Chain A
Amino acid sequence: MEFLVASVIGVLTAVGVYLLLRLRTFPVILGLTFLSYGVNIFLFTAGRLTSNAAPIIGRSEVYADPLPQALVLTAIVISFGMTAVIMMMAIGGYLEAGHDRVNIDDAADAEENKA
């Protein structure tokens, strides 16, 4: 299980970083989403991997650490909200500029407007 979880975190983070480095806004946002999935799972494993364990003392032989679960819940809510914000801003930027290029470059802007 450790290998599976570790490679999932690695793959999600790698995909996220790759997409982050793209030149269009939409893949960048997807990359941020993948990165936040990766970090959420990583945060979850900070309390050690346990199976069949309730986060309550006395319910089962071993118990899962409840704190990382609370942390990851906070992190999920925050990254969800942030993704919504950047999505709205990206749509606004696309509608106003007519393209979703990441860089802010006057020459490219002028050419885009001519075309």
Chain B
Amino acid sequence: MMSHWIIAPVVLPALVAALMVIIMRGDLLLQRVAGVAGVVALNGIAAALLWAATTHGPEVYFLGDWPAPFGIVLVLDQLSALMVAVLAALSLAVVLYAIGSGWDAKGAHFHPLLQFLLMGIGGAFLTGDAFNLFVFFEVLLIASYGLMVHGGGDRRTRAGIQYVAFNLVGSSLFLFALALIYGVTGTLNMADLAEKLPTLPEGDSALIRVAAVMLFMVFAIKGALVPLQFWLPGSYANAPGVVAAMFAVMTKVGAYGVLRFGTLVFPTSLAATGDLLSSLILPAGLVTLVVGAVGVMGASTLPRLAAFAGIASMGTAFVVISAFTPATTAAALYYILHSILATATLFLVADLVTRRRAHARLDAAAPPIAQSGLISALFLAAAVAMAGLPPLSGFIGKLLILDAFRGQAALIWPVILGSSFLLILGFARAGSTLFWKAVALDAEPQEPRPEGLAFTATFGLLAGLALLTVFAGPITAWLGDAAQSLHAPEGYIAANRLGQGD
């Protein structure tokens, strides 16, 4: 019986976190062991769920055995299983890096907060209920508030307040949207919404349009879509590097929300919304891409550069998502996978550099850092991946995107290609200041810091990118399958067994 395992990605981190807080309080070694064991188990569960979703199709877990749409459901389909699997893989790298770099020792409760974050993100990916999605958003946000200010410091705390305030406004918007949807349709189950929305009377379509736009604004805040991106550079650049790497998956929660709601609840075939949403997302995504690329050119510190590169990759992802066809959705999924791993790698490399360097600024050279050769190679690989150069998966991702947009090549190709050029320039500038100009300064060489686990984690993420490149063929075939079932959600809806109270 597979179905009980669907809730495991939510329950397991919650249990591990609670045990850490209650039993292992103050014992960092035990917390580290439990943290690694927890994420390894999560990886196993995620792999099993991915297998189940591939072989059996969508499966529903009825919480408390209440029939849908009255109870809350968790739905496992290919998209949610995939996102949980990526989350699990990234969390393993992040936990290992946090242990190796000593970040988890710089403040209390790093490991429990990370587990709560995993619980929130995993739940957000799995839930099939719109209000439950809000609750899981709050769970992941409150954990991220704690992680964001981990290690303390005046600037970090104040950047954290901005981050919290911005997300609280996002939560209020989310509630407004949900109240509107419930007021019009009388349901919040996502499959039930998909069935009820097309049958609504004409008079309600204005309210549904308002609700849909507000909901997508919430996802745009999470996904840092222009003009709602301005919170991200300050927050991510001031967060601990390892936490920023984990946050790489949190911006993708926004992309996931747009994909899920844009295909299931508000598809382009729905008369009330039509292509309103995609016509809003496409220009915003293009501007986001340009803003991110220009930000990379002008970033004052390496973590800010990584944050802007992350914004650029979110822009690319949203541009592709906005078309809402099976072919573009498959390309979007591949790019999202790549972007999670590449952004996280870049943040980890940025952290490796920043902790060793005399100052954080990119406009002036500093004496060479310890292990400069190894770290510069890592930076090169991360930059190649982020900018979308061959041989890494960013190139394949952008190739798939360009191929999917043959019809609109005049608008989209120049923006994607031009911004890639700006990204390459920005990374080249940063790399030469960090690693080449440093050699010109005469300084005592630094003591190398071994940090084996930290390097292992960074190389592990790079290995993930390499696997994504080598197995691009089978992966894109699988993603094409997942995209097909996203755009034909009958299986997803049928799995909810609506109206059968058994």
Contacts and interface: CB of A to CB of B under 8 A. Distances in A.
A39 B135 CA distance: 15
The winner among B152, B171, B172 for most chain A CB atoms within 10 A is B172
Given A46-B182, A93-B161, A97-B154, A39 B176 contact: yes
- Chain B, interface size category, equals 20 to 34
B73 interface: no
B131 interface: yes
B145 interface: yes
Interface residues of A, number: 36
Contact of B158 (A29, A35, A97): A97
Nearest to B132: A74
B376 interface: no
A89 B161 contact: yes
Given A46-B180, A68-B182, A89 B171 contact: no
B160 interface: yes
Given A28-B165, A82-B138, A93-B161, A42 B171 contact: no
Interface string B142-171: 100100010011110111111011001101
A90 B161 contact: yes
Contacts of A111: none
Contacts of A38: 172
A38 B141 CA distance: 21
A42 B161 contact: no
A112 to B, nearest CB: 11
A40 B172 CA distance: 9
B179 interface: yes
Contacts of B155: 104
B175 interface: yes
A25 B161 contact: yes
B234 interface: yes
A94 to B, nearest CB: 9
The winner among A35, A47, A78 for most chain B CB atoms within 10 A is A78
Nearest to B187: A67
Nearest to A101: B158
Nearest to A106: B155
A81 B152 CA distance: 21
Q: Is the interface of B mostly helix, strand, loop or mixed?
A: helix
A111 to B, nearest CB: 15
B182 A78 contact: no
Contacts of B145: 85-86, 89
B183 interface: yes
B178 interface: yes
Nearest to A32: B168
Interface string A86-114: 10011011001100001010000000000
A95 to B, nearest CB: 9
Contacts of B157: 89, 92-93, 96-97
B267 to A, nearest CB: 24
The winner among A81, A89, A90 for most chain B CB atoms within 10 A is A89
A86 B183 contact: no
A108 B502 CA distance: 64
B178 A43 contact: yes
B142 A81 contact: yes
Nearest to B159: A104
Given A32-B165, A86-B164, A86-B168, A43 B158 contact: no
Contact of A39 (B142, B149, B179): B179
Nearest to B181: A46
Contacts of A86: 145, 161, 164-165, 168
A71 interface: yes
A85 B142 contact: yes
B182 A67 contact: yes
A32 B169 CA distance: 7
Contact of B162 (A16, A82, A92, A104): A104
A89 B414 CA distance: 44
B23 to A, nearest CB: 24
Contact of A71 (B141, B161, B182, B238): B182
Interface in A34-63: 35-36, 38-40, 42-43, 45-48
A103 B160 CA distance: 11
Given A46-B180, A104-B159, A74 B135 contact: yes
B176 A42 contact: yes
A111 B160 CA distance: 22
10 contacts: A29-B165, A36-B172, A42-B175, A71-B179, A79-B168, A82-B138, A82-B168, A85-B142, A93-B160, A102-B161
Interface of B: 131, 135, 138, 141-142, 145, 149, 152-155, 157-162, 164-165, 168-169, 171-172, 175-176, 178-180, 182-183, 234, 238
Closest 6 CB pairs of A and B: A46-B183, A46-B179, A96-B154, A93-B157, A43-B179, A39-B175
Interface of A: 16, 20, 25, 28-29, 32, 35-36, 38-40, 42-43, 45-48, 67-68, 71, 74-75, 78-79, 81-82, 85-86, 89-90, 92-93, 96-97, 102, 104
